[in-house]
Structure 1
Amino acid sequence: MTVLAGFYVSGALYFFSIWFQAFQKDTNLSAEQIRLSWIVLTIATVFWPIVAPIANLEKSSRTKDTLVNQQESDVNKTGILPELSRT
């Protein structure tokens, strides 16, 4: 469990550093925009361990659905009865 927490913390620091570098490159921000940017940067860093796995699961389920739909269309093209197909 400690290893998993270490991966999450290192990932959070990695993403924070990328987002912080992008934040520093933008010099045309007003004081209000800078404050809001810090809020967004903090929220994104805190919640990325929750959002990243959910996004990964969603992406993998879309890929699975695409593969199933592709197999179904292949069955329809070949004229094989659904009972005889491997799916």
Structure 2
Amino acid sequence: MRLLPCLAFALLLAAPGVEASRLPPDVMAYAARHDRCDHWRGEASDDPGRAAEVRRAVTRECRGSDAALARLLRRYARNKAVTKHLESYDLQIER
């Protein structure tokens, strides 16, 4: 139960200016995947096994992210609140 307040706080921070519950489901799904991608991109390990696990996770979570963001920006171009939220993400994370 201690996790619930942390989760609620994280959701409030997830969408500055927009309540998380008011974001379209595809935008919320993208945000969650992008956050997982960022987590794995920031992970480093000297252990070869762990490094391989990190590379697989980066591939799984980050592949297609740039194209997905571009699609969402086009889809919600007329929705300023959603566009503002999406523009808070890096446009290119697949390098």
Question: Which TM-score applies when normalising by structure 2?
Answer: 0.31
Higher helix residue share:
1
Give the number of the structure whose alpha-carbon radius of gyration is greater.
1
